[in-house]
Amino acid sequence: MTKISGQFDASLSIPIDVTPNFSASSNEPCRFNIQEDTVTILPLTITDVIPYPDGEYEPPTLTEIRVWISRDIDLEHGQEEYLTLPPDEEQKFEKVLVEASEHFVSIVKHKTNQWDLDTRHPVHAYNYEYWLDDKRLKTASSLEPSAKRLPEYAHGRIVFRSGDFQSELSQEMWHEVVTETQCPAPFHLYEELLYDAKTFRSHMRYDASVLYAAIASELMLEEACITLLKTKGGLNEKQCETIVGKLRNPQLLELIHELYPNLPIKDKEARKLFELRNKIAHGRIKTVTAKEANLALATAEQLKHDLAECIQP
């Protein structure tokens, strides 16, 4: 076994508020183990105090930590001299980095009551150096100076900005507003939930993104069932709501197929989304990946498309 050391300057997803006298250089290091790997953490970058005219101030924040990790790697004899750290070993270092940062942030969160700190995705980005004794190792992919790598859970991240969706209120649009105030268009809660799911996704809150996508999907299924029970079953609003209120998601899907056999719905994807939602809600899984959040949003959007004639006014 060969001991490789990694140094990582990791920017935190959410900065930690610190006192004005908190120092990045005069603190003793945090040392602990993640399985067999040795981890050391020190504060690295702290923002300045921002004073207010009334004598109050905006506290400084700890935005970056420096993390050292020592791991044993199994190498064949003679490889050390020509070693380039392979991607799979880099991924193992990254997993330790994320777990160590999660452990560190969790302790700070409970000590300071800063409950908005993100313990599920604590590392926003990081740079790295790997060493074998006093020799710096090459890696399969190198970073440009001052660049940082996104951790695995941020791969394929899609950033949604409000400007991508909104438009300005124009003079022409004002006339439409005047008209619609007389007969307002119905507002669908599932639309806002889908938007919230995308917002959580852009902030790498993948578990919340999945939960909101699932809730939006459930509301769409319920609305579709009520519409179909009215139009094809001849029931009134109260009867429809009573029936739908007693059904679970799989039963909602079955009812839709029974009332409208030709309606194209991808049951398999929808059921997977609800299963993942239940696992998250009941704490059976700890980490949700970017891929799972993307799939959840895609499933909800597809369901919206498939049910369009049943859920639109």
* The two structure tokens encoding residue 64: 């970056």
Residue 263 CA to residue 202 CA, distance in Å, equals: 32
Higher pLDDT, 69 or 184: 69
Q: Which of 130, 105, 134 is nearest to 120 (CA)?
A: 105
Residue 62 CA to residue 10 CA, distance in Å, equals: 11
Flag whether pLDDT at 5 surpasses 60. Answer: yes
Task: DSSP for 236-286, please give it.
Answer: -HHHHHHHHHT--HHHHHHHHHHH-TT----HHHHHHHHHHHHHHHTTS-S
Per-residue confidence (pLDDT) for residue 182, from 0 to 100: 66
Count the residues in the chain.
313
* The two structure tokens encoding residue 253: 């899907």
Q: Where are the domains of the chain?
A: 2-154, 188-311
- 71's CB contacts (< 8 A; 6+ apart) are 3, 4, 5, 6, 36, 37, 92, 93, 96
Residue 178 CA to residue 199 CA, distance in Å, equals: 30
pTM, full prediction: 0.57
Per-residue confidence (pLDDT) for residue 157, from 0 to 100: 46
Mean model confidence pLDDT for the chain: 84
Residue 95 CA to residue 70 CA, distance in Å, equals: 13
Q: Give the model confidence (pLDDT) of 71-102 as tens digits.
A: 998 765 555 556 788 888 899 999 999 999 99
Q: How far is CA 228 from CA 12, 169, 236, 279, in A?
A: 49, 36, 11, 30
Higher pLDDT, 12 or 267: 12
- CB distance 112 to 125 below 8 Å: no
Q: Give the model confidence (pLDDT) of 149-185 as tens digits.
A: 888 876 544 444 445 455 667 667 677 777 766 665 5
Q: Give the model confidence (pLDDT) of 246-279 as tens digits.
A: 888 888 888 888 888 877 777 889 999 999 999 9
- 53's CB contacts (< 8 A; 6+ apart) are none
Average pLDDT in the 129-149 region?
A: 85
Domain 188-311: give its CATH code. 1.20.120
Q: How far is CA 249 from CA 218, 263, 309, in A?
A: 7, 17, 19
Per-residue confidence (pLDDT) for residue 153, from 0 to 100: 75
Flag whether pLDDT at 54 surpasses 90. Answer: no
- 281's CB contacts (< 8 A; 6+ apart) are 211
Average pLDDT in the 136-160 region?
A: 73
Q: Which of 300, 306, 299 is nearest to 191 (CA)?
A: 300
DSSP single-letter state for residue 149:
B
Q: Give the model confidence (pLDDT) of 202-255 as tens digits.
A: 888 889 999 999 999 999 999 889 888 888 888 888 888 888 888 888 888 888
* The two structure tokens encoding residue 93: 């270092």
Per-residue confidence (pLDDT) for residue 214, from 0 to 100: 94
Residue 93 CA to residue 5 CA, distance in Å, equals: 9
22 residue type, one letter: F
DSSP SS3 for 61: strand
Flag whether pLDDT at 44 surpasses 90. Answer: yes
Per-residue confidence (pLDDT) for residue 43, from 0 to 100: 93
DSSP SS3 for 18: coil
